[in-house]
Amino acid sequence: MKSILVLSSVVALAAAGTIDITKYPPLDQQAPPIPGINASYDFSKVPAIPVKGWNAAGGYAICPSTADAISWCSLPCAQGSGCDATRKDIISSCPTKGDWAMTFDDGPSNNTVPLLDLLDKLNLKATFCLVGSRVVERPDLVQRMFDSGHQLCVHTWSHRVLPTMTSDVVISELEYCARAIQDITGTRPTYMRPPTGDTDDRVRGISAAMGFKTLLWDHDTFDWEGVSLYPNALWPQWIQNNFTQWIKDPSLTKGPISLEHDVYTMPAAAALLTVPLVNQAGFKIKTAGECLSDMRVYQNQSYLLPPSGVAGGKLTVSTASASSAPAPGASATAGANKPSSSSRIAPASFVAAIVAAVAALVF
């Protein structure tokens, strides 16, 4: 979830891909305002909520005072604010018990490839919330995700915390990411995920005006925190143990939406174990759209997601009339176990364990 800077060989990859990167801002830099963009959307209903301050130490926008809490409704600040009951436009869980939407953020990257291979072999569909700066680096992987019927989701151009940005920057951060996905796939997603889960009524108003529903989560692996705090080693068992507990949780009344990150090496490797865990526990792994009964998750509504679990499922084109998504209530009740020092294992050992475990479990 933290701001991510991935240095990469963008020139070579993009030159061989299907996107003209000269039309985009520099990678991982705040997207500049786009002249004239306001004429493309109706922002008249966006509430005039002040730009939030920045909590550099916490990596989030500064949480509001009690009086302002109701306008906020972000994941880091929402608990106790009452916004769960009042903001039905925030999606954080699947309405049906037994469903499970696995979501992967901040990619794509080379680390995404084994995960896509696994999902394809199992005929499972996931949701990928893409950072525009990564999208232009790997148009091949974006196209593969799209063609395979995974759900693509906008996760901004440079992973800025949106409530701390002026509205013209929020717009350009969303627009450049959506444009990059559209340049590659021919259409734009209808879901966005705010970086770090930070949003407020202003950001959601802008997002809605641009055609995006706000997708959060209710099961956070905190894999991002492991990467942030321990860049040379992660506690991968922490991620696996969380899923082991979650799949046995008797208190589940809805379908989880879990958060992992495929941009980092260790979390992406851990995902190769978490997918089989959820699958073999009997949950129906679906895209966020499918669990919400919304198979038309692109602004070109003729594109129809395939149902998960169907062999050979690919994106299809339908001429049937468009459906609309339900708007489940928000429930930002992330819970996870933090790692203990005794659970630490070396990255090399973990990678070897992953390779062996996946070979034994899946194929």
**Which residues of this chain interact with Zn ion, rule CB under 5 A?**
1, 105-106, 195
CA–CA distance, 112 with 89 (Å, rounded to integer): 29
- In angstroms, what is the minimal distance from the CB of 119 to Zn ion? 20
Exposed / middle / buried, residue 176 (Cβ in 10 Å: 0-12, 13-18, 19+): buried
Closer CB to Zn ion, residue 218 or residue 247? 218
Q: CA angle, 290 as apex, 272 and 236 as ends, to 5°?
A: 20
DSSP string, 207-257: HHHTT-EEE--SEE--HHHHHHH-TT---HHHHHHHHHHHTT-TT--SB-E
CA–CA distance, 130 with 134 (Å, rounded to integer): 7
Closer CB to Zn ion, residue 84 or residue 220? 220
Helix, strand or coil, per DSSP, at residue 323: coil
Closer CB to Zn ion, residue 89 or residue 106? 106
The DSSP bridge partners found for residue 130 are: 154
Closer CB to Zn ion, residue 1 or residue 358? 1
Closer CB to Zn ion, residue 136 or residue 315? 136
The DSSP bridge partners found for residue 285 are: 100
Q: Is the peptide bond before 108 cis (omega within 30 degrees of 0)?
A: yes
Closer CB to Zn ion, residue 55 or residue 244? 55
- In angstroms, what is the minimal distance from the CB of 105 to Zn ion? 4
- In angstroms, what is the minimal distance from the CB of 282 to Zn ion? 29
- In angstroms, what is the minimal distance from the CB of 33 to Zn ion? 22
Residue nearest to Zn ion (CB): 105
Instruction: Yes or no: say if 171 and 210 are a contact pair by the CB < 8 Å rule.
Output: yes
Structure tokens at 310: 């169907």
- In angstroms, what is the minimal distance from the CB of 334 to Zn ion? 14
Helix, strand or coil, per DSSP, at residue 120: helix
- In angstroms, what is the minimal distance from the CB of 31 to Zn ion? 15
> Hunting for tokens 């004429």 — which residue is that?
39
Structure tokens at 273: 């174990």
Instruction: Yes or no: say if 190 and 297 are a contact pair by the CB < 8 Å rule.
Output: yes
- In angstroms, what is the minimal distance from the CB of 211 to Zn ion? 20
CA–CA distance, 105 with 108 (Å, rounded to integer): 8
- In angstroms, what is the minimal distance from the CB of 156 to Zn ion? 8
Instruction: Yes or no: say if 254 and 101 are a contact pair by the CB < 8 Å rule.
Output: no
